[in-house]
Amino acid sequence: MLNRFTTDYLDTLGRADFRPVARVAGRLASYDGLLMEAVGLSLPVGTVCQVGESHGRTVEAEVIGFRNGRTLMMNLGGPAALLPQAPVRPIGAPGQAEVGAALLGRVVDGAGKPIDGLGPIRGAGHWPLAGHIQSPLDRGRVREPMDVGVRAINGLLTVGQGQRVGIMAGSGVGKSVLLGMIVRAAQADVVVIGLIGERSREVADFLETKVAGEARARSVVVAVPANHSPVLRIRGALRATAIAEAFRAEGKKVLLIMDSLTRVAHAGREIGLALGESASARGYPPSAIAMLPNLIERAGTCVSSGGSITAIYTVLADGDDGNDPVVDSARSILDGHIVLNRALAERGVYPAIDIGPSVSRVMTDIVGPDHIAASRVLRRHLATYEENRDLVLMGAYRPGADPAIDTAIACHDAIMAYIRQDADETVSLTDAVTELTGVFGEG
């Protein structure tokens, strides 16, 4: 026993590079159910701490700021029976996400812990949650189209590899169903799905119906339901983006799905208001809106690796308001947006894509002139019909009075048939373009 003490302990103390490390701990000074204040600690933002006695019920919290010499933390777990002066100890360094092929087919939460019952994740690499800062010149142009399996998008709103697109709609108009159609048919090496702030039921439903079979083997899912901490919801969005960035650095074509960007902004609003920020646009503090560009700009193509992240974000328009601060901010940053119309959904048109206000900002760079000309003809006929829809339905329009209106009326059924598509149907990019140019290609 004495020999073991000598070799293991005294020899360690005798090393020239030995440095004793003090155990850092503080005390809980304030707690209102979400925001905590600790004294006696000096930790960087993002550090995960354990609050409570180690032999009793503890809760994890993340450092989010500082105020008047106190460390501000946000609760990451549920309610806990914490007492004043409870010990606070750091347990995790800030800003790292597990990444790599070990995550394929797995489902993790906002903290990176597996929740699929398949055991721990082994052999994963690490990537900063905040990503690596890239020069604008390190980003390549979007040059190749991506087949998403949806006729209306492939033909009229063609998505390119490395593009950032928003699906904007109110609640219950079909955003999740459209995402499922895209996930099943998308031509990508890896699919990273972030289910942020949605209902727990939708998480299980999305996994069983939209990411089943072959798609599951090439997918990574980060699921953080609405009842989780706002810090975990933001970490979930950052984690999904970091996983996609790591695959892009390997030269892979990645499809990043995030449902929804608005819930991420809601989490930022909760944290900002808890920190005392003043609410500005419709209750959103400036930090909540400013967070969106930092998240969205991480997607795109990479010149050095040749990989790309094609990102599709759902954006919930509260009250079907297209001028909602989150919708307006996302629309100005994204490379295109797909608007879903409740009136179309009520008429049984699914997916309820409103072609008029929807746009793909890279479509003219990745498709041929015949394709562009046919899509503009369809858009022109649809706009003419919608402008005169009330006159036609009331019988106030006399056929022959305007050739443009007559043509729009004659083409309307073909346009609606082109937009409609069953949820389990897949239409390739080639078929969508062939049908579009065949019907509308002669102008």
Among 73-82, 190-199, 362-371, 427-436, whose mean pLDDT is lowest? Answer: 73-82
Q: State the pLDDT confidence band at 2, using cuts at 50, 70 and 90.
A: low
Residue 262 has pLDDT above 80, yes or no: yes
CA dihedral 131, 136, 139, 145 (to 10 degrees): 110
What are the structural domains of the chain? 23-90 (2.40.10.170), 96-361 (3.40.50.12240), 370-440 (1.20.1270.330)
pLDDT recorded at residue 431: 96
What rounded mean pLDDT belongs to the chain?
Answer: 87
pLDDT at 354: 94
Confidence tier at 224 by pLDDT (50, 70, 90): very high
Min mean pLDDT across 295-304, 315-324, 422-431 is at 315-324
* Cα separation, 34 vs 57, whole angstroms: 16
Asked whether the beta carbons of 289 and 272 are under 8 A apart, the reply is no
Task: Kindly report which listed range (280-284, 356-360, 404-408) carries the lowest average pLDDT score.
Answer: 280-284
Q: What is the mean pLDDT of residues 306-326?
A: 87
Mention every residue, 6+ apart, whose C-beta is less than 8 A from residue 425.
none
Residue 77: pLDDT over 80: no
The pair phi, psi for residue 327, each rounded to 5°, is -60, -45
Q: Which of the four pLDDT bands, split at 50, 70 and 90, describes residue 76?
A: confident
pTM, full prediction? 0.87
Under the banding of pLDDT at 50, 70 and 90, the label for residue 12 is low
> How confident is the model at residue 420, as a pLDDT?
94
**Cβ(232)–Cβ(205) below 8 Å:** no
Would you say residue 272 has pLDDT above 70? Answer: yes
Alpha-carbon distance of 392 to 327, in angstroms, equals 33
Phi, psi dihedral angles at 196 (to 5 degrees): -110, 120
Buried b or exposed e, range 189-228, using 16+ CB within 10 angstroms? ebbbbbbbbbeeeebeebbeebbeeebbebbbbbbbbeeb
Task: Assign 286 to helix, strand or coil.
Answer: helix
Question: Which whole number is the average pLDDT over 118-131?
Answer: 90
Q: What is the pLDDT of residue 443?
A: 46
Residue 16 has pLDDT above 60, yes or no: no
Q: What is the pLDDT at residue 204?
A: 82
Query: Shortest CA distance to 103 belongs to which of 232, 278, 4, 242?
Result: 242
pLDDT band at 157 (very low <50, low <70, confident <90, very high): very high
Query: pLDDT (tens digit, 9 = 90+) per residue, 334-388?
Result: 999 999 999 999 888 989 999 999 999 999 999 999 999 999 999 999 999 999 9
Omega within 30 of 0 (cis) for the link into 260: yes
pLDDT at residue 33, as a whole number: 73
**pLDDT of 256 strictly over 50:** yes
pLDDT above 60 for 439: yes
